[in-house]
Amino acid sequence: MHPLIERFQKETDWKDKCLLLEIIHIKFKQSRRLWRIRDTARLLKLSVGLVSEDLQLARALTSEQIDNNVKSRNQAIKSLRGKQK
């Protein structure tokens, strides 16, 4: 198993988990031409919707669209959706 996948599976902090998921997705996408969100979901045994949301959260965290002090993933999603309206 790839070390990043092992680290992802052990991670408990939602922010770090989102960022790791983004790293994994980008890494596999760079090495495989037709890699999609569906492939990342299958690799990590997650739903496509969850992977898609986590990728959005990771982008929002790195671009500071979400306050880093947000305590939960659900709060972050609500915050992000509120800014998209």
Looking at residue 85, its pLDDT comes to: 55
Q: How far is CA 17 from CA 22, 26, 29, 48, in A?
A: 9, 14, 18, 15
10-residue averages of pLDDT along the chain (85 residues): 93 96 96 94 97 96 89 92 71
pTM: 0.90
> Where in the chain are the domains?
3-84
Question: Measured over all CA atoms, what is the biggest interatomic distance in the chain, rounded to whole angstroms?
Answer: 40
Looking at residue 68, its pLDDT comes to: 82
Chain-centroid distance, C-alpha 73: 11
